[in-house]
């Protein structure tokens, strides 16, 4: 049959397919989220995230070393805070001698060339399990929370880490944190703002990992409504004005349109958080033999990059890096 255009010609061999590939994943795109335990010589698997462990500092140092050998240089570290340390005001979060801040300093000291990001939000340290301060009526207070977030960010910056990651979704937090960092001589500490963070069911396994689920209600008065795309522009405008260095979309896979929207409208690097539930779904289906988990993993990561994310926070980082090295 006579046809001028046959798109299949550009798919006829591996060589041609690779040559015309528009998107290529690189290990340097990845940031690996890690869960930090208090204490020594402990490593426990997160039941709802097969292959993902919580580590005490000594073992986390080993894990980071292994990852660095695979080419992963960026890590986002979250603390597992035991119930006895939790209170209304998340006071442990800004104590310099709390194990999280102490460990961050050790990690950064051991691996000065690694890029270490920390999380700023009250939930792991709060008895209410919310990202902000809760009043008697159960309202999440915005401006009062900023003071706590500011102290938390400063305590983390003092450990020498590279990037502060405000994941709390309070209004005005990027500027508030930027000001405190600058006033204290931390002009070089970056901020990766959780710009468009949606109130998502896909955070479930993460809350298991940290035991940080809200004790009442949900996070819908601060995290965004999954129905909204244009609202992401409002958040991104603010973060850009307030001095963010990266704009993040979270979750990633159910929000590829939002990643693309920010990529098309902003010049700052776009990050996407391929969250816990997105990891667990692939793993669970793989374990059931319902899909090829390795292929689904690589396709998911590629789609996040294709949508416009340069930085991909993903629990698949190590596994994907191993595969990409092979």
Tell me the catalytic residues.
197, 250
CB nearer to ligand PBG: give 253 or 268. 253
CB nearer to ligand PBG: give 156 or 276. 276
Calculate ∠ Cα 188-192-43, nearest 5°: 100
- Could you tell me the smallest distance in angstroms from the CB atom of residue 124 to ligand PBG? 7
116-149 in b/e burial notation, b at 16+ Cβ within 10 A? bbbbbbbbbbbebbbbbbbeeeeebebeebbebb
CB nearer to ligand PBG: give 114 or 313. 313
- Could you tell me the smallest distance in angstroms from the CB atom of residue 110 to ligand PBG? 24
Tell me how far apart the alpha carbons of residues 273 and 32 are, in angstroms, rounded to a whole number. 10
291-302 in b/e burial notation, b at 16+ Cβ within 10 A? eebeebbbebbe
Tell me how far apart the alpha carbons of residues 52 and 316 are, in angstroms, rounded to a whole number. 9
Tell me how far apart the alpha carbons of residues 273 and 197 are, in angstroms, rounded to a whole number. 9
Burial class (CB in 10 A: 0-12, 13-18, 19+), 102: middle
- Could you tell me the smallest distance in angstroms from the CB atom of residue 131 to ligand PBG? 5
- Return residues touching ligand PBG (CB under 6 A): 119, 121, 123, 131, 167-168, 203, 206-207, 219, 275-276
CB nearer to ligand PBG: give 204 or 243. 204
CA 151 distance to own-chain centroid: 21
- Could you tell me the smallest distance in angstroms from the CB atom of residue 132 to ligand PBG? 10
């Amino acid at each position: 049959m006579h046809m001028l255009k046959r798109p299949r010609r550009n798919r006829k061999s591996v060589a041609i397919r690779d040559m015309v590939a528009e998107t290529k994943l690189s290990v340097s795109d990845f940031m690996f989220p890690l869960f930090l335990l208090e204490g020594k010589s402990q490593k426990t698997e997160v039941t709802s995230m097969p292959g993902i462990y919580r580590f005490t500092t000594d073992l986390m140092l080993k894990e980071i070393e292994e990852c660095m050998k695979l080419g992963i240089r960026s890590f986002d570290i979250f603390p597992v805070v035991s119930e006895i340390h939790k209170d209304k005001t998340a006071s442990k979060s800004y104590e310099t001698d709390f194990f999280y801040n102490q460990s961050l300093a050790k990690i950064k000291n051991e691996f000065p060339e690694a890029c270490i990001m920390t999380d700023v939000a009250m939930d792991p340290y709060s008895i209410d399990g919310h990202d902000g301060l809760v009043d008697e009526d159960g309202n999440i207070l915005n401006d009062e929370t900023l003071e706590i977030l500011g102290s938390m960010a400063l305590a983390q910056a003092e450990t020498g880490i590279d990037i502060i990651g405000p994941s709390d979704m309070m209004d005005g937090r990027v500027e508030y944190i930027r000001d405190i960092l600058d006033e204290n001589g931390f002009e070089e500490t970056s901020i990766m703002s959780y710009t468009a963070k949606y109130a998502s069911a896909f955070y479930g396994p993460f809350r298991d990992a940290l035991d940080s689920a809200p004790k009442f209600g949900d996070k819908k008065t601060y995290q965004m409504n999954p129905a909204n795309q244009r609202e992401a522009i409002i958040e991104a405008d603010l973060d850009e004005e307030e001095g963010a260095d990266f704009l993040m979309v979270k979750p990633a896979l159910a929000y590829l349109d939002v990643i693309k929207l920010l990529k098309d409208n902003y010049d700052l690097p776009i990050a996407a958080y391929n969250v816990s539930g997105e990891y667990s779904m692939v793993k669970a289906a793989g374990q059931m033999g319902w899909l090829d988990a390795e292929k689904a993993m690589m396709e998911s990561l590629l789609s996040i990059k294709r949508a416009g994310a340069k930085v991909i926070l993903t629990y698949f980082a190590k596994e994907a890096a191993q595969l990409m090295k092979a």
